[in-house]
Amino acid sequence: MSSASVREILSGRVAAGTAVTVQGWIKTRRDSKAGLSFLAVSDGSCQDNIQVVAPNTLDNYDTEVLKLTSGCAVRCSGKLVASQGKGQGMEIEGAKVEVVGWVDDPETYPIQPKPHTMEFLREVAHLRPRTNTFGAVARIRHTIAQAIHRYFHEREFFWVNTPIVTASDCEGAGQMFRVSTLDMLNLPRTDKGGIDWSKDFFGKEAYLTVSGQLAVEGYCLALSKVYTFGPTFRAENSNTTRHLAEFWMIEPEIAFADLNDDANLAEDFLKYIFNAVLNERGDDMKFIADRVEKSAITRLEKFISAPFERIDYTQAIDILKKAPKKFDYPVEWGNDLQTEHERYLAEEHIGRPVVVMNYPEQIKSFYMRLNDDEKTVAAMDVLAPGIGEIIGGSQREERLDYLDRRIQQFGLNPDSYQWYRDFRRYGTVPHAGFGLGFERLVVYVCGLTNIRDAIPYPRTPGHAEF
């Protein structure tokens, strides 16, 4: 008797007639007058359930099988047979149904076999992976993550694990969570080693990172092609459908490269990821298209087939000024683009993904390379129809004197950036990179409307209960 996942069985990898065991959770139970119970069992390996047919001749039929409710954990063994039900593929004729875990109070079990609103499911984020939608989102998220690592690995990028605790504010925007200890971990208060433990564990103010970029630049300037992929944190008090306080970011960094190389990488990378999702998660994407967002598959197909448009920020402002619609936020050269502007450009005006390049220097970060016009920096945002900005990147300022000027202009403490200046002092080269918010990508792929549904346990202002 072999144990098989529901995915293995339903994808035809187990021959009819084989004795199999599946382990999973009951989705539904239906009893027939003929003395059979039909159990829909999910093990989360794929979108579909397997049907287990349990006859009333089982020893525990009355005492246990007839008491099974949604959510109970079971181990079912029997013979795999072609289902008699229409379009159902394979089912298991149950010779044995073992209850591994009961649901102690079926009445109050929040995940009932009926549609739930996303708002309700956010309240029970610890149980929502049991629903079809969140099962699909979790598997798609996994597939995207795997495809990201594969993409970079195949192109000889090295994955660098940058620190989560840091003393540098990468974006210089002051949105960092401070790290402190509750009781100094009972460390003896001592002057040994010159560290004043009573002040702070790290001997200086330390924060949760907002981006691994500055740290990964150091590895880029030694290994040429690198990327980070890890959690990042932002203490921005924006309770929106696009912001999380804790999110994952993918940040490639390439040496001997300019902004155009960066835009090429972003385009090739996004198309690879979307292709991988469509190829590897067909069943979940079909479910998403049927139940969450109708155009989920066609949107990705369109994205893959269209070459990205590239325009300058100045051109973008021109287009927006001439737009036949009124925006809530004013369109002025020097103002950052708002989501409504980004969506208009990508969706309505251009109709495909667009890379906006060369933004005014005063609205972008200190590390971006100043262009010859001294008014703009070599920054880019990739805007996608239906969501707006999905990627933000830039060519980095590799000239020490310019970098120093920017650090000063942004009012940053130069002492905190000595190590970062070293990269410009010792063998500096043009280099570029970008950051992609992992959850924004998941939102886009899964056609979600709220970023809180793209991460297992969302962290937002006022929410960290699980």
Residues in contact with ligand 4AD by the rule CB under 6 A: 170-171, 211, 213, 234, 236, 243-244, 247, 249, 251, 389-394, 433-437, 439-440, 451
Q: Say how far apart CA 304 and CA 336 lie, in whole Å.
A: 27
At closest approach, how far in Å is the CB of 161 from ligand 4AD?
15
Determine the 3-state secondary structure of 249 from DSSP. strand
One-letter amino acid for residue 200 of the chain: D
At closest approach, how far in Å is the CB of 350 from ligand 4AD?
19
Structure tokens given for 244: 């999380």
In the block, tokens 């990898």 appear at 13
**In the complex with ligand 4AD, which residue's Cβ is closer, 88 or 175?**
175
Structure tokens given for 83: 């289902």
Pairing assessment for the beta strands 225-233 and 158-159 based on DSSP bridges: parallel
Q: Say how far apart CA 84 and CA 16 lie, in whole Å.
A: 13
**In the complex with ligand 4AD, which residue's Cβ is closer, 24 or 393?**
393
**In the complex with ligand 4AD, which residue's Cβ is closer, 61 or 444?**
444
At closest approach, how far in Å is the CB of 235 from ligand 4AD?
9
**In the complex with ligand 4AD, which residue's Cβ is closer, 10 or 379?**
379
Nearest to 351 by CA among 299, 409, 291: 299
Q: Say how far apart CA 143 and CA 158 lie, in whole Å.
A: 19
At closest approach, how far in Å is the CB of 442 from ligand 4AD?
10
> Given its phi and psi angles, is residue 244 left (phi above 0), alpha (psi -120 to 50 degrees) or beta?
beta
At closest approach, how far in Å is the CB of 34 from ligand 4AD?
53
At closest approach, how far in Å is the CB of 103 from ligand 4AD?
35
**In the complex with ligand 4AD, which residue's Cβ is closer, 10 or 214?**
214
**In the complex with ligand 4AD, which residue's Cβ is closer, 385 or 392?**
392
Q: Which residues on adjacent β-strands are paired with residue 229?
A: 250
Pairing assessment for the beta strands 354-360 and 309-312 based on DSSP bridges: parallel
In the block, tokens 């199999």 appear at 20
**In the complex with ligand 4AD, which residue's Cβ is closer, 170 or 221?**
170
Helix (H) or strand (E) holding 218: helix 213-223
Structure tokens given for 426: 């010792």
167 burial via Cβ count (<10 Å: 0-12, 13-18, 19+): middle
**In the complex with ligand 4AD, which residue's Cβ is closer, 68 or 249?**
249
At closest approach, how far in Å is the CB of 437 from ligand 4AD?
3
At closest approach, how far in Å is the CB of 388 from ligand 4AD?
10
**In the complex with ligand 4AD, which residue's Cβ is closer, 10 or 390?**
390
Structure tokens given for 326: 């009124």
At closest approach, how far in Å is the CB of 414 from ligand 4AD?
19
At closest approach, how far in Å is the CB of 365 from ligand 4AD?
7
**What angle (nearest 5°) sits at the alpha carbon of residue 367, between those of residues 363 and 368?**
60
455 burial via Cβ count (<10 Å: 0-12, 13-18, 19+): buried
**In the complex with ligand 4AD, which residue's Cβ is closer, 389 or 397?**
389
Q: Say how far apart CA 207 and CA 220 lie, in whole Å.
A: 23
Q: Say how far apart CA 144 and CA 438 lie, in whole Å.
A: 9
